[in-house]
Amino acid sequence: MGQTLTQIAEELRNTNKKVQLIYAFNGVGKTRLSREIKNLISPKDSGGEQDYQSKVLYYNAFTEDLFYWDNDLNTDIDRKLIIQPNGYTNWVLQEQGQESNIITHFQRYTNDKLTPDFNQSFSEVRFSFQRGDDSGSDYVKISKGEESCFIWSIFYSLLDQAINVLNIDEEDERDTDQFNHLEYVFIDDPVSSLDDNHLIELAINIAELVKLSHSNLKFIITTHNPLFYNVLFNEVGNKKCYMLNKFEDGTYDIPEKKGDSNKSFSYHLYLKHIIEEAIESNSIEKYHFMLLRNLYEKTANFLGYPKWSGLLPDDKQTYYNRVIQFTSHSTLSNEVIPEPTEPEKQIVKFLLDHLVDNNYWKEEIAAQPIVDEGSIIATENETV
């Protein structure tokens, strides 16, 4: 006999972990589970929508239902995305003033020329391609994937702000008191229409937010995407991992996935494949340095090296500094560090070839000596 989703929600609520990561196939009940958790933590009769928002933030299919298109069928010119009146978007856009951050995050995952234009009341948004001068293109209807990116960017901007506010211990020193009672964040399959490269980047960005959170805020993240699951599994700590299953009688179970059961998706091989594709197409971006570092970390851990920098070629400090420049956990802003130059892109290729060509990837690896890094004195998370 399985459990109800309500019972599973109670189990998740009572778990003392920073992150709970849940893998489930589509149609099993991830979205319904998010609703159960929302109702359990903050039922509607406890104070209404605003009270719910202050206790749990969640992103799921219902979040996307707050937006719908007016395609201007009469003139086919003024196409706009309508935002249904609701406390959620009013809170993000009007009360918290996140418009510029939303645009920045949206353009990161789509196109830096594709620009949202909110009306004054934040009830409509139009999209156009900026031409680099005072003129812009006609308003366009963006794709379903771009629409999902836009809606996610609204949630992400709010979550980023909430984490930074809650990291201030003294409540009277915070810019707003709207987050003071926030306890949980539930994220269900954000932007599953993204290509693999951007999906990895998004997962890394979520992991960075989690690691930046020093308050008691807890995260429950569900997905049907093996790659998204694996990036998060490898990027975040203090976590508990599950597999959500549904039985024919309509009940559920959620066994914990431990140890090697989380390695079934060959995450490290996929990272290698993604980096190789970027090298071949000369499309290396900042986040590929993060993937390369991750690959070095996983290999070093497997071989018993105390630090991933021990696998670097000669002149370890130089290569270490260069990788750290693009992978420091100190910031999430894409604008702080410039795009890689051509010589820096070649470093990615060189370091990947070094890792692959030095017996690190052969099944018959012999025991390797522990490397004394000596001059590598910076910590793993420190910008050198």
In DSSP notation, 295-308 reads HHHHHHHHHT-SSG
What is the amino acid identity at position 188?
A: D
H/E stretch holding 317 = helix 316-327
Which whole-number Å values give the CA distances from 262 to 231, 292, 308, in the listed order? 11, 20, 21
| Alpha-carbon distance values, 375 to 158, 309, 314, 379 (Å) | 41, 11, 12, 12
Gap between the Cα atoms of 264 and 245, Å rounded:
17
Per-residue pLDDT tens for 254-270?
A: 998 876 555 545 567 76
What would the pLDDT profile of 62-106 be if each residue is shown by its tens digit? Answer: 888 889 999 888 877 888 999 988 777 887 888 888 899 999 999
How far apart, in whole angstroms, are the C-alpha atoms of residue 245 and residue 327? 36
Question: Could you tell me what percent of the chain has a pLDDT over 90?
Answer: 32
Residue keyed to tokens 């099993």? 28
Place of tokens 């299953």: 245
Contacts of 253 (CB under 8 A, 6+ apart): 2, 3, 245, 247
Cα–Cα distance for residue pair 265/64, rounded to 1 Å: 29
Local structure of residue 21 (DSSP, 8 states): E
Compute the average pLDDT of residues 43-52: 47
How far apart are the C-alpha atoms of 33 and 15, rounded to whole Å?
15
Residue 11 dihedral angles phi and psi, to the nearest 5°: -65, -45
Amino acid at residue number 355? L
Residues 133-144 pLDDT 10s: 555 568 889 998
**Environment class of residue 110 by beta-carbon count within 10 Å: exposed (0-12), middle (13-18) or buried (19+)?**
buried
Return phi, psi of residue 284, to 5°. -70, 130
Amino acid occupying residue 202: L
pLDDT of residue 267: 62
Going from the N-terminus, what domains does the chain have, and what CATH number goes with each? 5-263 (3.40.50.300), 267-357 (no CATH)
* CA pair distance 90, 214, nearest whole angstrom: 27
The pLDDT-based confidence of 376 (bands split at 50, 70, 90) is very low
User: Taking a C-beta distance cutoff of 8 angstroms, is the pair 372, 378 a contact?
Assistant: no
Q: How many CA atoms lie within 13 A of 38 on its CB side?
A: 24
- pLDDT above 60 (res 381): no
Residues 115 and 85: their CA atoms lie apart, in Å, by 22
Q: Which long-range contacts (CB under 8 A, 24 or more apart) does 316-324 make?
A: 316/373, 316/375, 316/376, 317/375, 317/376, 319/347, 319/351, 320/376, 320/378, 320/384, 321/378, 321/384, 322/347, 323/289, 323/292, 323/293, 323/296, 323/347, 323/351, 324/378, 324/382, 324/383, 324/384
Residue 206: pLDDT over 90: yes
If DSSP codes are grouped into helix, strand and coil, which group holds residue 195? coil
Q: Tell me the pLDDT tens digit for each residue of 180-203.
A: 989 999 999 887 677 777 888 889
Tell me how far apart the alpha carbons of residues 207 and 332 are, in angstroms, rounded to a whole number. Answer: 11
Q: Where do we find the tokens 């960005």? A: 205
- Within the chain, what is the greatest distance between any pair of CA atoms? 73
In this predicted structure, what is the pLDDT of residue 286?
A: 79
CA distance 188 to 197: 19
Tell the burial category of 343 from Cβ atoms under 10 Å away from its Cβ (0-12, 13-18, 19+).
exposed
Backbone angles phi, psi at 320, to 5 degrees: -60, -50
Higher pLDDT, 370 or 56: 56
Find the DSSP H helices in 14-80: 30-41, 48-55, 61-64
* Burial bucket for residue 38 (CB in 10 Å: 0-12, 13-18, 19+): buried
Burial class (CB in 10 A: 0-12, 13-18, 19+), 51: middle
Over range 308-328, report the average pLDDT.
81
